[in-house]
Structure 1
Amino acid sequence: MRKKIFFALLSVVCFSWRASAQSSLLATLNHEGTISTYYGSSALQEAYHAADHGDVITLSSGSFLGTDIQKAITLRGAGMTVDTVAHTEPTVISTNFTIDVSDTLSHRLTLEGIYSNQTVRVSTLKNAMFLKCRFKEINTYSSNSTMKDLNFIHCRIAERFYLAANGSASFLNCVVMNPYQGNSNNSVFSFTNCYVNKVDISYSEYKNCIINNTYSGTSTTTYYNNLWLCNGGYSLNSPNNTNVKISETDERVSFLNVDYNDDNDYQLTDAVRALIKGTDGTEVGIYGGSLPYDPTPTNPQITKFNVAAKSTADGKLSVDIEVNSAN
């Protein structure tokens, strides 16, 4: 059940307020227990500029200008989809941005509930967490980029994910279009309960996935209980026989053999579920396993806030914020 938490901030001293203070775009920065608020399309940029490693920035629904990320912050949005239950729209980062976070920090970078239809380029990143985010493309910044121990849960990669040489990335209950390796001998992917449209990745693992790709698998990768949509005489080159191959034109799976679309929920029909089970007995694909796909963020979401048109006679401004919590 969703709980509604209301904050009435009735004693905000008003010095000079820009017109953006009336905007529906809001960012809050939690720095060591002190909350600061920023308004308008540049709110993310302003909050990030004031943040330090370990701080938490929370964004409302709406479209925000991006900022290059060099601090190990937690960035939380209202979600990557329209949520008819929480009555929220996506939090969109509308511009390209780069990530360059030192791999020696004790804090980790965490992004949750963000929608991006731009290119995200990674220079240095280690042990980062991406939750319930939608990205168009994640790519390397240069040939020397570092991408180690990246974790994606309930995410969507709409066009391309390029893993740097000597990199590693794990995807759990995700949709991943066009994953590539910077070096097929030392870049390692792990896909569990995912929809993936590439099968020939080396030195990696596919488990309980739906793989949509007409090509052969590789002998250096392990494949367990995957539903493989493939035409022709190709094989997975797998030492076990737990995978099921089916023609991508078979009417039972034709709805899965389509170009990426944000509206595609990848829900399986009973006919597809009957073809194969995952290693744990649940269905293959993004709704199987112990953590079925759910795009709703785990963090509280800013669903509404109102700012008074003007301050009171004693210089105070009324701010009313509504937050929905899924917990």
Structure 2
Amino acid sequence: MRKKFFFALLSVVCFSWRASAQSSLLATLNHEGTISTYYGSSALQEAYNAADHGDVITLSSGSFLGTDIKKAITLRGAGMTVDTVAHTEPTVISSNFNIDVSDTLSHRLTMEGIYSNQTVTVSTLKNAMFLKCRFKDVNYNSNSSTMKDLNFIHCRIAEGFNLATNCSASFLNCVVMNPYQGNSNNSVFSFTNCYVNNSELQHSEYKNCIINKNNTGFSTTTFYNNLWLTSNSNIACPNKTNVTISPDDERVSFLNVAYNDDNDYQLTDAVRTLIKGTDGTEVGIHGGSLPYDPTPTNPQITKFNVAAKSTADGKLSVDIEVNSAN
């Protein structure tokens, strides 16, 4: 059910408006039940500066200046794609940002519905959750960075994901381009129902994935029911539940291409008949118990209008519409 909330004629006390207040860019900060609002391209920065661990920042569609993240907050956007049903456009973080959240905190960092075409650099991060986000490149600050138990669901990594030494990350129904281990003996990846490109990882696991890499894998990595785009038929793994197909085969030519945000990785019937996942559903991002869906689970700000000036009695007309799929 979609819910709509309208707030009009809000009282303004000692209120001083700047030009940015008329902008459609909006960030709200929920701190212990108290809601604060910020406007304009710097709204994320201002909301973050006022936030504490455990707080929730919600962003409208639009492009926001980035900020380094050192607090275990929940950051929610309107999505990483144009949503014609919810009538929302992506929430874009337009600049590089660093993540350095202490691994001793009781709260954890959560990000959902964010689009970034910049570099995200991680110094310290543990048990974080990324939902329905699109990142260009995720890298470590140094090979001694802490990247422990990172979880990605319905995300897209467009260029690369570099995991530091003695670290771990899991991906569920994601598109992951060029994953890399800082140390192949101590860094562990887990992929379930993913599309993984140019992957050459040890001591990791692939299950129900599409692997686009013309090699034979490693015996230290486990592979279960994967469709492997490779010209090598002898896969180096203990089980024989994988299917190989030449990347030049016309049936999979649409999968053997450079990354594109518009590629939905929907399998044709000809590909679905080649192999099933361990659960009997199709391999790749649209299979499994949680098929890929880029729509955020959190409420999305779909409309935000502010009157040009307040009324004579000090009231200002504000119209906010929020859609929720829940």
What amino acid sits opposite 1:204 in the alignment? S
CA distance in 1, matches of 2:199, 2:161: 14
Q: Which residue of 2 aligns with 1:117?
A: 117
Q: Equivalent pairs: percent with the same residue?
A: 87
1:198: Cα distance to partner?
2.9
What amino acid sits opposite 2:244 in the alignment? K
1:42: Cα distance to partner?
0.1
Which sits farther off after the overlay, 152-161 or 235-244? 235-244
1:315: Cα distance to partner?
1.9
- Structure 2: tracts of 5 or more residues without a match: none
Q: Which residue of 2 aligns with 1:243?
A: 242
1:163–1:181 contact (8 Å) kept in structure 2: yes
- Structure 1: tracts of 5 or more residues without a match: none
- Check if 1:299 corresponds to 2:298: yes
Q: Which residue of 2 aligns with 1:223?
A: 223
CA distance in 1, matches of 2:101, 2:113: 20
What amino acid sits opposite 1:326 in the alignment? A
TM-score computed with the length of structure 1 as normaliser: 0.98
Superposed CA offset, 1:103-134 (max 9, x none)? 00000000000000000000000000000000
What amino acid sits opposite 1:228 in the alignment? W
Q: Which residue of 2 aligns with 1:70?
A: 70
What amino acid sits opposite 1:256 in the alignment? L
1:215: Cα distance to partner?
1.3
CA RMSD of aligned residues (A): 1.0
Residue 250 of structure 2 aligns to a residue in which SS? coil
1:12–1:318 contact (8 Å) kept in structure 2: no
Q: Which residue of 1 aligns with 2:29?
A: 29
Superposed CA offset, 1:268-320 (max 9, x none)? 00000000000000000000000000000000000001111111222222211
- Check if 1:87 corresponds to 2:110: no
What amino acid sits opposite 1:306 in the alignment? N
Residue 7 of structure 2 aligns to a residue in which SS? strand
1:75: Cα distance to partner?
0.2
CA distance in 1, matches of 2:192, 2:6: 38
2:179–2:199 contact (8 Å) kept in structure 1: no
1:199–1:215 contact (8 Å) kept in structure 2: no
Residue 49 of structure 2 aligns to a residue in which SS? helix
1:13–1:317 contact (8 Å) kept in structure 2: no
CA distance in 1, matches of 2:70, 2:245: 45
Q: Which residue of 2 aligns with 1:281?
A: 280
1:14: Cα distance to partner?
5.0
Residue 254 of structure 2 aligns to a residue in which SS? helix
What amino acid sits opposite 2:302 in the alignment? T
1:14–1:311 contact (8 Å) kept in structure 2: no
1:200–1:216 contact (8 Å) kept in structure 2: no
- Check if 1:256 corresponds to 2:249: no
Residue 317 of structure 2 aligns to a residue in which SS? strand
Q: Which residue of 2 aligns with 1:61?
A: 61
- Check if 1:163 corresponds to 2:130: no
Superposed CA offset, 1:212-262 (max 9, x none)? 01012000000000000012x353211111100000011110000000000
What amino acid sits opposite 2:269 in the alignment? D
TM-score computed with the length of structure 2 as normaliser: 0.98
Which sits farther off after the overlay, 295-304 or 11-20? 11-20
Q: Which residue of 2 aligns with 1:266?
A: 265
1:7: Cα distance to partner?
3.0
Which sits farther off after the overlay, 10-19 or 40-49? 10-19
1:14–1:316 contact (8 Å) kept in structure 2: no
- Check if 1:173 corresponds to 2:169: no
1:3: Cα distance to partner?
2.7
2:20–2:40 contact (8 Å) kept in structure 1: yes
Q: Which residue of 2 aligns with 1:41?
A: 41
Superposed CA offset, 1:145-181 (max 9, x none)? 1100000000000000000101000000000000000
